[in-house]
Amino acid sequence: MKLHLILLRNVWKFCYEDGVGSRVRGRGRWMRVTSEVEAMSQG
């Protein structure tokens, strides 16, 4: 379980940095990944 959380954090960090690096274009992916992570954490 802890490994899964580390993996999620790495994905989150990557997508966040990608979103900051390429503002508008990265933002759609960032929002999509955020909603996917929320769905995963809920069930």
Separation between Cα atoms, residue 43 and residue 29, nearest integer Å: 21
Q: For the chain, which residues make up each domain, given as ranges?
A: 1-40
Q: What gap in Å lies between CA 4 and CA 31, rounded to an integer?
A: 20
One pLDDT digit (tens) per residue for the chain, 43 residues: 688 888 888 887 776 666 665 555 555 666 777 888 888 888 6
The radius of gyration of the chain from alpha carbons, rounded to an integer in Å, stands at 11
DSSP state of 1: -
Q: Does the global pTM surpass 0.75?
A: no
Q: Are 35 and 27 in contact (CB under 8 A)?
A: no
Q: Look at the block and give the residue holding tokens 């390429």.
A: 22
